[in-house]
Amino acid sequence: MMQSTISTLPPYLSLAIWLPIVFGLIVLAVGRDTNAALVRVGSLIGAIVSFAATIPLITNFNNAAHGMQFVEKSPWIETFNIYYSLGIDGLSLWFVPLTAFITVIVVISAWQVIQKRVAQYMGAFLILSGLMIGVFCAMDGLLFYFFFEATLIPMYIIIGVWGGENRVYASFKFFLYTFFGSLLTLVAIIYLYRVTGTFDILTWHLTPLTMREQIFIFIAFFMAFAVKVPMFPVHTWLPDVHVEAPTGGSAVLAAIMLKLGAYGFLRFSLPITPDASHYLSGFVITLSLIAVIYVGLVALVQKDMKKLVAYSSIAHMGFVTLGFFIFNAIGVQGAIVQMISHGFISGAMFLCIGVLYDQAHSRQIADYGGVVNKMPKFAALFIFFSMANCGLPATSGFVGEFMVILGAVQYNFWIGLLAATALIFGAAYSLWMAKRVIFGKVTNHHVAALVDVNGREFFMLGVLAIAVLVMGLYPAPFTDTMQTSVADLLTHVAKSKLP
């Protein structure tokens, strides 16, 4: 697409990537369970500083500029012409602060819950945060892959060490599933290097490729990104992993990690293989609709709250992939908004379930009932996030889904109609769960023993609730930043790259 100019600003992106990693390493190095209090405070400071370091990206972002901003580029592995090359545009801008923000929330959420190996828990999340930001900023194919894969290590450890009973199974499933997809992507990346002689993603965008090449590359990328999103039918790892992961792990997984895959579609699949993307769009749209409808129905019958939210994540991510592959501005913008909004909402849902689990040690919907009688403040927040999850107007969940449906109707009325039915399922499973868990009479002594959220929990859920509301009431700052980049992307994708 557009050529980027080297910026004269401070290296904000490098700071955003490396600050949390450095803080994480420090926490790992000095933290012991004997000085857990210090570790918590240190991690919180680290997370907040890292988040603060991403704010200048938003304030200095130029909405009208084409191409990459905050560009940094220096040689990394010269033998292979690999650069340490960073940059963000409207497509990736919001994910950098979002990641740092969710990390702050995760650190707060672990304050009392994690009592063993505190330093390792906090350190792993801080490092993970830096690595995920790296994925969103990398403009060199290998650098992208480097970060993309490296995220697996801390997440594997997080699930395996702090997870539930079946954590070993879940951690292996998580690692091997995603590793499988990304290995094929590695082949595609090397292939593109062999063709172009560079790892520069923007150069790859311009490289002519035959249809055959494009289809193979598209499929190789698709394997990694579809597993990560996850799309039907490679979604089966997500519910298992969510159930076993600790609360923080689930929150980061749903809020950020799934977006790595979706972002991959925007940065790699669509612009590098536009013809194959058009050619195979029917296939992807079908899978997305299955995710939206079928997985939505699957969510309806779940007995485990975490599983239910996991399936609802898959359904919501189905909207994202649907929005990408209908190739119109409102659809793509809606999909990106949906990604950000889902980051807030799913993160909040998992944190809510975590709050309940910490007290009652059950995730089964049947074990609850009448929680509102004991936890009124919590109930209010839980209901609010459930409403947001099913796309109530004035919450962020509405904006994204509405835009995608609008885009889908423009593309094809029937696809739009099918996607719109998903809103009904979404409302059904979210509200039905909320009804069974929150309302009614107090059903058993576990529920009777519940106490309402404390200040810390109220703060972390409250902040997320504000974010959801702000984005729902006034989405313009979000959509404005991405307008130019989305328009550029679509013009680019509309042009054939066949030689």
Partner 1 sequence: MTTPIPQEAFNLAPAYAEVTLIIGASLLLLVDMFLSESKRSITYVLSLAILAILAGITFADFSAGTTAYTFNGMYVNDPMANLLKLATYVAVALTLVYSRQYVTQRGMMSGNLGGEFYVLALFAMLGQMVMISGSNFLTIYLGVELMSLSLYALVALRRDNHKATEAAMKYFILGALASGFLLYGISMLYGATGTLEISKVAAAVAAGTIKPAILVFGIVFLVAGLAFKLGAVPFHMWVPDVYEGSPTAVTLLLGGAPKIATFAICIRLLVEGLLPMAFDWQQMLMVLAVLSLAIGNLTAIAQTNLKRMLAYSTIAQIGFVLLGLLAGVVGTTDRTGIATAYSSSMYYILTYVLTTVGSFGLLMLLSRSGFEAETLNDFKGLSKRSGWFAVVMTILMFSLAGVPPMMGFAAKFSVLSAVLGTGQIWLTVVAVMFSLIGAFYYLRIVKLMWFDEPTDTAPIVAHGDMKFVLSLNGLAIVVLGILPGPLLAMCLKAMQATLAT
The binding site for partner 1 (CB under 8 A) comprises 75-80, 120, 142, 145-147, 149-150, 152-153, 156-157, 160-161, 167-168, 171-172, 175-176, 179-180, 183-184, 186-187, 190-191, 193-194, 216
Whose tokens are 């490092």? That residue is: 127
* Residue whose CB is less far from partner 1, 167 or 497: 167
Contact 261, 224 (CB under 8 A): yes
Q: Which residues contact 142 (CB under 8 A, 6 or more apart)?
A: 77, 80, 82, 189, 193, 199
Closest Cα to residue 276, out of 423, 496, 425, 483?
496
- Could you tell me the smallest distance in angstroms from the CB atom of residue 340 to partner 1? 27
* Residue whose CB is less far from partner 1, 80 or 459: 80
- Could you tell me the smallest distance in angstroms from the CB atom of residue 251 to partner 1? 21
Collapsed DSSP state (helix, strand, coil) of residue 210: coil
- Could you tell me the smallest distance in angstroms from the CB atom of residue 78 to partner 1? 6
* Residue whose CB is less far from partner 1, 95 or 216: 216
Contact 122, 129 (CB under 8 A): no
Peptide bond into 246 cis (omega under 30): no
- Could you tell me the smallest distance in angstroms from the CB atom of residue 496 to partner 1? 24
CA distances from 304 to 48, 382, 391 (A): 33, 16, 22
Strand partners, 75: 83
- Could you tell me the smallest distance in angstroms from the CB atom of residue 40 to partner 1? 18
Closest Cα to residue 463, out of 51, 93, 169?
51
* Residue whose CB is less far from partner 1, 23 or 384: 23
* Residue whose CB is less far from partner 1, 145 or 232: 145
- Could you tell me the smallest distance in angstroms from the CB atom of residue 151 to partner 1? 10
Angle (CA) 444-445-448 rounded to 5° is 95
* Residue whose CB is less far from partner 1, 76 or 439: 76
* Residue whose CB is less far from partner 1, 81 or 281: 81
Q: What is the 8-class DSSP label of residue 71?
A: E
* Residue whose CB is less far from partner 1, 268 or 382: 268
- Could you tell me the smallest distance in angstroms from the CB atom of residue 186 to partner 1? 6
The per-residue DSSP string of 238-290 comes to HHHHHHHS-HHHHHHIIIIIHHHHHHHIIIIIHHHSHHHHHHTHHHHHHHHHH
Q: What is the 8-class DSSP label of residue 291?
A: I
Peptide bond into 233 cis (omega under 30): yes
* Residue whose CB is less far from partner 1, 192 or 356: 192
Contact 416, 405 (CB under 8 A): yes
- Could you tell me the smallest distance in angstroms from the CB atom of residue 421 to partner 1? 38
- Could you tell me the smallest distance in angstroms from the CB atom of residue 249 to partner 1? 14
82 sits in the region (left: phi over 0; alpha: psi -120 to 50; else beta) called beta
* Residue whose CB is less far from partner 1, 150 or 442: 150
How many angstroms separate the CA atoms of 99 and 260, rounded?
11
- Could you tell me the smallest distance in angstroms from the CB atom of residue 110 to partner 1? 18
* Residue whose CB is less far from partner 1, 162 or 398: 162
3-state percent breakdown (helix, strand, coil) of the chain, nearest 5: 75, 5, 20
- Could you tell me the smallest distance in angstroms from the CB atom of residue 76 to partner 1? 7
CA distances from 351 to 15, 39, 42, 279, 360 (A): 28, 21, 22, 40, 14
- Could you tell me the smallest distance in angstroms from the CB atom of residue 321 to partner 1? 24
* 211-217 LR contacts (CB < 8 Å, sep 24+): 211/275, 211/276, 211/279, 211/498, 214/273, 214/274, 214/275, 214/276, 214/279, 214/497, 215/273, 215/276, 215/279, 215/280, 216/188, 216/191, 217/188, 217/191, 217/192, 217/272, 217/273, 217/276
* Residue whose CB is less far from partner 1, 168 or 498: 168
